[in-house]
Structure 1
Amino acid sequence: MNFMANPKKTPAIDGRSRGFTLQRMLVILAVSLALSLIVFLLWKMLRNPLETGLHVIRLEQIDSAAKADVELNQQILRARLALESGARDLELARDRFDIAQSALSSGQAGLSGLNDEMDDALQAYRLQASDKLSLLNDYSARLARLAQHFSVMRVAGISVLNAPVVNESESLRKRVMMLLQEATAYSLQSSPENADLINRLGGEVSEAAEQLDNDAARGALRHLLETVDLLRSSRDELQSLIAQFDSIETGIALQSLQAAYEKHFQGLQDTARRYRQTLAVYAVALLLAFGLIAVRLRSSFSALDSANNELQDTNSNLEEIVNKRTQALSKALDDLKMQQGQLIQSEKMASLGQMVAGVAHEINTPLGYASSNVEIIRESIQEMGQEVDAESIEEFDVLLADVEYGLNQISELVLSLKDFSRVDRSQSQLFDLNAGIDTALKICNNQLKDGVNVERNYAELPEISCAPSQLNQVFLNLINNAAQAMDGHGLIQITTRQVGENVEVAIRDSGSGMDADTRAHIFEPFFTTKAVGKGTGLGLSIVFRIIEDHGGTIEVESELGKGTEFVVRLPVKSVVKVADVSPANDVVLLGE
């Protein structure tokens, strides 16, 4: 166990620490905000090249859609001029227009979702384009029928012109050829003059056909007139669809879409310009701030230089001050050691005071019967005079043996006291723990009284390297504490054993025990559970220090009402740490 004081921080130190922490947090926050603003402005500026690239692509898409629209309008007009190849070119133009108008609202460069105005313009254009594509499907179908009727008319005309009856009538042949020419011209470009002329020529051909006697020729002429009427009808339907195409203003819708997009892009450019201006102003502000910081730093460095010069001037004085302070601290340390020795000596004197009565009792008992026996011998010798028989001599021997036994007890007790209290703390010797425990038991025999039983469970132990008197103090203290905890009645069990490279001494009592709070503080200096004036609270603290100096440990297990057990564990070979060998440190520890 290790008990160390944890000095509390003063309010001033705590205040400075909190102030420094708050200042550091504010600096970190300010730097983070500055960096975040720079990153944000740079990101807004770096987005501009991307928007510029997309702008070029979007303008190209709008231009492609406009060209596809113009090409489609041209192919719608050209398709009726080239009935055989016009349909194919019209389909190609239709596909290009469909792809171009779809590209405006799809992909990363699409115009969809940029803003509400753009979405409205794009939706209007897509509706116009959808109507145009739907009408174009009907137009293609009618154009195919016109081409078919034109082909049938041409075949019918050739058949009529090759008929012998028609070749015999020069006027009829001339009218049929004029009818074919006007019908062909009408299919390409209808006009009121063509229509009136076709009607007149058709009437003349019909009258001439009725005058023919050849039924085949008459039927061929009638078939030709029917194909001409079908051709005119298909051409009129196609012309009405062309008028509907003119009403679909995809070009105007596309121009509105382009204007809305250019307005949107101009807004982006204005925003980017504002961000660039903001970044420029912010950069200037940062430069000014850095300039102010540089000025402050220069001023601080100047102050530091001045302080450094002052420190150099006072350096010699500092050495003198340090020497004086060192001497003062050394003197204070010596005073502290002396006071510690005096305090320990006070503990020793208090403990020895408690032992005096018991030791005196133990010495007086054998001295009493030794003195009595000596008196009896003296009286017997005086009464007998010169007559001393063998029986008397035998009685004298017994009495003298008792005297010798009592004097041996006195000698043994005095020797134990001498061994226990000798000044040998600085000497590391081989020591028998079992013998040391027996010595402690003899010293505190009076403390144990008649109601305390001691049970010894000794194992064969190797002699350990230690300071014997210090360990005697440990055992005496623990045994006396056990006797005091039982209030003069109970059992003390002392067990020794060897565990690996260590030896253990367990001292268990059947006393009142301790609670958890008491166990946590028993090794602290000046902690005691006794009343004021009954104990100093240094006993177990010094026990702990002695065992720690021997490289050992001490553990305690206790429970209220169930007794206490101290287990001392010591290495067989240890280096004893002894700071002082003065008599003041040679302490007999009695009582916690």
Structure 2
Amino acid sequence: MRLIVPIAFLCCYLGTARAQEGHAYFKQRVEYFRALSVKGNNVANIEVINGAKALNDSLLRARQYELTPDLLLAIGRLHQQLGRMGNAEFFYREGLQRGQKYKDSLWVAAAWDRLADFYALEERSSLSLDCYFKALQLRETHDPSRKSIADTYHGIARSYIQTGALTTAVEYLEKSLNLKKELKDTLRLGIINTLYADIYRLQGQHALSEKYYLKDIPKRLQQNNYEGLTISYLGLAQNYQGWGKYRDAEIYYLKALQIAEAIKRQRNIGLILLNLGTLYKANGQDDRAKAVFRRAVETCTAVDSRIYQLNAFRNLYTMYKDDGNLPKALEYLELYATVQDSASKESLNMKMEDYKAAYELKEREKEIAQLDTENKQGKQLRNVLIIGILLLLLSLIFVVALFRSRNKALKELNQEQANTKALLWEKEQLLDHLQQTNLQLIHSEKMASIGVMTAGIAHELNNPVSSIHASVEALRMDHKDLMPVFEKLAVLQKSADTNPAIVEELKTLVSRIDMGYLSEELQTLMNTIINGSQRTSDIIQGLKIFSRDTGDDFLPYRVEEGIETALTLLHHKLKNKIQVEKSYQFNGVIQCQISKINQVFLNILDNAIQALGEEGTIFIETKAQNGWCIITVRDTGTGIDNATRQKIFEPFFTTKEVGKGTGLGLAISYAIIQQHRGEIRVDSTPGEGTAFIITLPLA
């Protein structure tokens, strides 16, 4: 009996010592992750995050609850470095909630500051100011040294800078700086310098802003604070851009990008790329701007930086629209709409995951509490009843909170669905508008072609009409010569008896006329009238065929007849010096939109005639091959170089003088052939002429 008490005491001592050793180990591990998360040169790593999460589970199982707040804030910071901002917010808030239970007021104030810094990085200024003022209230009440108050002041200033309230921001920076001078505190003065630099940059005082940015850079280089150095380089680049020093701006954007890539700050990389793309775009370096924006899309897609991704898509859409590349612009507009819809859905899913994680965490805590209750069965019944009542109240509160959160989530889901439907409707309206614009553009180009040809066609019609008019005048003269004969014949016809005198007069009149010559002349004049009227009919029929709109229906079409119609309308441009050699081997029928294919043939042949200038030869060949109709139009002109050939089908690209071409003919022809599931390509060698090859399906 005497040995029981010492043995029990020894067991308690060993248990306590073991618990203290476990606490020291866990504390050391938490401190490791906390120190890793605040390093400015730390390389973001998902494996480190997974290790920290595993440690958090171990802390819960070991009931080391007082250590979890620091670890949760560290996990949030690590997620932030990796660009996973949704997860970062969740762990920051979870750590703050735990800290309010297990930590003192100054720790909670620091946690509010950390959460405010996160919201400031996300440019959610209202939330960041709310968190900063909560931290300020706690620090003014519980920090007798007042050192931490200065840090909160410059945090508030940063949020006011984001809102554009620069005067208020300056007031809080002065408060922070004066307090640090009073307390002789030199820590984090670099941040204040950077914020002053931001204010001067926004006020347009670029020289002063440059001075403050450069003042802070050497210290950050010495401390290997690469994250802070990225912020300084980025601000300095933005200052140079606003100052008009674009070369310096480009250099510092690239420096910031290099450092951000080295420490894998994906969100910073996306922001830098967007600013660099904007710089290139402002300088007219469209190709480089597009390349940078596309890379920004890739970077922002890898993390949940949807705002930056949408910014990149919007810039790409605007640039391609301004270039006249409507298909590419529409592609990025569709990507913008898709990402916008995806971002809404991801936001909802993230909230649902947060609720699920909170629920699972509460469930684990509940299980731990139940195990703890079972291990303490020897306690008095009063304590058991109190614990049971507390657990019941907690469960009731949790159920009520879960019910409210689910109702809120349902309302948000309905709102997101309504927003998505509205966005889809706007997208459909935009597509309809683009289609109508495309049809109007094709019709306008067609009417422009008719307008350009009007003078030539009028001249072409004038030739046969003039020949007809001249022939009619000659016939009138011949008729005048024959009138005396006709009059004598009329008198002779009315006389009952043959009057010898009239017969003699008739013979005399006939003898004066060369009847053989007159007969031949009449035949020639009638042939001239017939040919002139036929030529006039062909020209008018060709013009009717070309100007008629057959709509979007696919109808039977003879390719050779369409080519002949185009040649008829362009005959006046040939000037009898341009030869046309034809090799029609197809002689078949295809299904197509007739008016649009006629427009393609007219555009291609007109370009060939213009390429020849005064003289030359155009070769036209049609043939059937492997289920396709192949039309080749080749000229003997000067040809085109490789650079021109690469851009020849782009909208508004033309090599003609201003006012002599819209640059839409070949672009519209290309679009029409694509709509027919065909292909159009160009082969050309400078000095050897140009060939356009059109391939259309037979069915």
Question: TM-score scaled to structure 2, two decimals?
Answer: 0.40
Structure with the greater alpha carbon radius of gyration: 1
Quick one: higher RCO (CA 8 Å, sep 6+), 1 or 2?
1
User: What is the TM-score of this pair, normalised by structure 1?
Assistant: 0.46
